[in-house]
């Protein structure tokens, strides 16, 4: 127990130099006293020699103050951090350049010419617009033709209906004329041949 107390006091004395003199004196006295008591011949196993010193090396004496001071004074800004991380990773000069064989503009080697690609895209777009316009015109013409056909069909249907009506009227007039002729002939016949009529039946 005395040895543990001495070890604790020596460690505290090394980390806290302000409390070192009094604590060290107390530790050395207690260590000497208990080492003499435990060096009795009846307890040879627990005997602690008086020559053992439990001191910490000298390079750890200023460790406590160093721990307290080991913090940055201010936070590193994002810009400075990114400048440090991106050092040597900036954009490099492009050296693999040549001229396009089609248009003559400067372009990167082994890559398509952006001017030719843009021209091809515009050509494709104009062709697509022209095709769409032609398709719209064709659809409009088809719609007009369909409307004309529908209107012609309606006109023909109206003409057929009028024709049918005229035929029916003609048949009705002919039927009415026939009935009128029959009635006139019957009246003439009755006038010429008067007979006795019993009820609704005429007896000849």
8 A C-beta contact, residue 61 and residue 14? yes
* 183 in any annotated domain: no
Smallest Cα–Cα separation from 55: which of 87, 20, 81, 30?
20
Q: Which residue has the higher pLDDT, 21 or 174?
A: 174
* 59 in any annotated domain: no
* 2 in any annotated domain: no
pLDDT score for 92: 84
CA distance 25 to 31: 10
Asked if the model's pLDDT at residue 38 lies above 80, the reply is no
8 A C-beta contact, residue 48 and residue 3? yes
* 122 in any annotated domain: yes
Residue 164 to residues 84, 114, 160, Cα–Cα distance (Å): 99, 73, 6
* 196 in any annotated domain: no
Predicted confidence band of residue 189 (pLDDT cuts 50, 70, 90): confident
Q: Which two tokens stand for residue 9?
A: 């006091």
pLDDT score for 197: 54
* 123 in any annotated domain: yes
Q: What is the Rg, in whole angstroms, of the alpha carbon atoms belonging to the chain?
A: 64
| pLDDT tens digits along 127-164 | 999 999 999 999 999 999 999 999 999 999 999 999 99
* 141 in any annotated domain: yes
Count of domains for the chain: 1
The boundaries of the domain holding residue 122 are 99-166
Average pLDDT value for residue range 102-130: 94
* 149 in any annotated domain: yes
pTM equals 0.35
CA distance 187 to 180: 10
Average pLDDT value for residue range 45-52: 47
Asked if the model's pLDDT at residue 24 lies above 50, the reply is no
**Quick one: CA torsion of 66, 69, 71, 75, rounded to 10 degrees?**
-150
Asked if the model's pLDDT at residue 100 lies above 90, the reply is yes
Predicted confidence band of residue 89 (pLDDT cuts 50, 70, 90): confident
């Amino acid at each position: 127990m005395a040895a543990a107390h001495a070890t604790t006091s020596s460690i505290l004395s090394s980390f806290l130099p302000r409390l070192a003199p009094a604590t060290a004196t107390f530790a050395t006295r207690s260590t000497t006293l208990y080492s003499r008591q435990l060096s009795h011949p009846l307890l040879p196993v627990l005997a602690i020699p008086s020559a053992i010193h439990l001191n910490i090396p000298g390079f750890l004496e200023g460790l406590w103050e160093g721990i307290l001071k080991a913090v940055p004074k201010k936070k590193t800004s994002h810009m400075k951090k990114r400048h440090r991380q991106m050092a040597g990773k900036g954009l490099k000069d492009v050296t693999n350049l040549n001229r396009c064989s089609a248009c003559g503009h400067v372009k990167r080697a082994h890559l398509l010419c952006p001017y030719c690609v843009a021209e091809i895209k515009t050509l494709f777009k104009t062709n697509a617009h022209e095709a769409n316009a032609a398709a719209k015109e064709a659809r409009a013409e088809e719609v007009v033709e369909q409307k004309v056909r529908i209107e012609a069909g309606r006109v023909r249907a109206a003409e057929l209906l009028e024709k049918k009506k005229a035929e029916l009227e003609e048949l009705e007039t002919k039927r009415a004329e026939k009935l009128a002729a029959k009635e006139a002939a019957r009246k003439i016949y009755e006038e010429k041949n008067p007979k006795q009529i019993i009820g609704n039946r005429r007896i000849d």
